[in-house]
Copies of this chain bind each other. A is one copy, B any other.
């Protein structure tokens, strides 16, 4: 996921959308649901209990983990543009069919194709030290022999302002911002290359986006401003970033040798992967989408980011089907492509479905912040939607009250949610999520079978109730074009 971009994007969008959403009241405000609707929701308690029982301790227990293990072991990392991502999509299509999902198909999306290639960085003066690194997605490479340059190190963009172009010209700039959170600190990964290039830097090295490290670099995308030179950019470890910052501040002259074979190739066709449990009453309207993203970075095996989100979505649908629970509306599981490359897969899908989106979609679910022990759901929507979510949340025994998040839900679904569609994200005990995020450590080792069962059950039960209610979840939508 890349919530950093998303948050700032959403804040911008939200400012526009706010008037259309109506009054945003405090979460504990009294809801005036009709007695009939409240009773209707309450009547789902037995089916919700049964869904939980069968997924968490019945015949489906352990199945989500089993499939996640199989999926990540079989295809490994699934970066956009790789054969293994497309192989994984082919496999998912086949397995969704085997699981009884309906209308299983893919929808093409033209997406970026970046390849890392061989890469390394080394401090060569005043002493030699390998600098474990990961080039940032979309970054350009260095010349074949690498580039060798003196280092400037700063903690912030503000500090960098004090440097003149003469001082920066020809240098490698190290940005070592303190970890505040993925949103605010993420700016440095996204923006450092262009900020430094404006003053003539030849490359940037950015402190990895994490509160904790064991010499672990974290990759992720950057954004090049269109009007400045594109320079190579990589993440280095927290430890090395702080070392270089301290040394620079005490006046040590440092030289780094950086080698990156990264290339941006022609955009390529990838696919969003779709399978459904079709509704008894509505088929292609008022759809409840449950989703995660199929692609990952090219490090680790993308188990937490985001095979887990894909699997709980796909298995929620599969298990409902196997239980013979067919709601009035279609529940559509989607595995987005190219999320890590800047939400590229969903963007294509969104445009392709824009014409009738108000009719086609009811609620969007997305899980892309881990599938650890779930604690509840985050949700977003207008006041009327919120009252329904609150009532539904009471059916989910053992979870905290669901949390209202003011339009900031999900990564892939963020644009819809920002424009007023109801949205739901999985809340889970992901306090250490960023330790592993975009690293070689994002693997099946992080995942727990029981936590996955609970996540799938919560996902399935909530989606089922929403898809089966007598009414759609209310929404006030800003049309697709209006935020441009």
Which A residues form the contact surface with B (CB < 8 A)? 69, 73, 75-77, 82-84, 87, 118, 120, 123, 127-130, 132, 212-216, 237-240, 242-243, 246-247, 250, 298-301, 435-436, 439-445
With A82-B128, A213-B214, A214-B213 as contacts: A73 and B246 at CB distance below 8 Å: yes
Q: Shortest 8 CB-CB distances between A and B: which pairs?
A: A215-B440, A214-B441, A215-B441, A239-B443, A76-B127, A214-B216, A84-B127, A76-B129
Task: Supply 20 A–B pairs (Cβ within 8 Å), ascending by A.
Answer: A73-B243, A73-B250, A75-B127, A83-B127, A84-B127, A84-B128, A118-B120, A129-B298, A132-B132, A132-B440, A215-B216, A215-B439, A215-B440, A216-B216, A237-B440, A237-B441, A239-B300, A239-B443, A243-B301, A243-B443
**Across-interface contacts of A444 in B (CB, < 8 A):** 243
- Please tell me if the beta carbons of B436 and A214 are within 8 angstroms of each other in the complex: yes
What is the count of identical protomers in the complex? 2
State the CA gap A77–B129 with chains docked (Å). 7
**Across-interface contacts of A298 in B (CB, < 8 A):** 129-130
Shortest beta-carbon distance, A300 to chain B, in Å? 6
A238 — nearest CB in chain B belongs to which residue?
A: B445
State the CA gap A75–B250 with chains docked (Å). 14
State the CA gap A175–B128 with chains docked (Å). 31
Known pairs A73-B246, A76-B123 / 10 extra A-B pairs, C-beta < 8 Å: A76-B129, A77-B127, A87-B127, A129-B301, A132-B132, A212-B214, A214-B435, A214-B436, A216-B440, A237-B440
**Across-interface contacts of A239 in B (CB, < 8 A):** 300, 440-441, 443, 445
**Across-interface contacts of A243 in B (CB, < 8 A):** 73, 76, 301, 443-444
State the CA gap A292–B118 with chains docked (Å). 38
Shortest beta-carbon distance, A222 to chain B, in Å? 20
**Across-interface contacts of A238 in B (CB, < 8 A):** 445
- Please tell me if the beta carbons of B439 and A214 are within 8 angstroms of each other in the complex: yes
Shortest beta-carbon distance, A449 to chain B, in Å? 15
With A76-B129, A214-B213 as contacts: A445 and B242 at CB distance below 8 Å: yes
**Across-interface contacts of A120 in B (CB, < 8 A):** 118
**Across-interface contacts of A69 in B (CB, < 8 A):** 246
State the CA gap A443–B243 with chains docked (Å). 9
**Across-interface contacts of A129 in B (CB, < 8 A):** 76-77, 298, 301
Shortest beta-carbon distance, A79 to chain B, in Å? 10
Shortest beta-carbon distance, A256 to chain B, in Å? 13
State the CA gap A439–B132 with chains docked (Å). 11
A445 — nearest CB in chain B belongs to which residue?
A: B239
State the CA gap A441–B439 with chains docked (Å). 15
- Please tell me if the beta carbons of B128 and A213 are within 8 angstroms of each other in the complex: no
A77 — nearest CB in chain B belongs to which residue?
A: B129
**Across-interface contacts of A128 in B (CB, < 8 A):** 76, 82, 84
State the CA gap A128–B443 with chains docked (Å). 15
**Across-interface contacts of A132 in B (CB, < 8 A):** 132, 440
**Across-interface contacts of A75 in B (CB, < 8 A):** 127
State the CA gap A14–B346 with chains docked (Å). 67
State the CA gap A118–B240 with chains docked (Å). 19
**Across-interface contacts of A213 in B (CB, < 8 A):** 214, 441, 445
State the CA gap A102–B76 with chains docked (Å). 59
State the CA gap A239–B216 with chains docked (Å). 13
State the CA gap A77–B436 with chains docked (Å). 25
State the CA gap A321–B216 with chains docked (Å). 41
State the CA gap A240–B84 with chains docked (Å). 17
**Across-interface contacts of A250 in B (CB, < 8 A):** 73
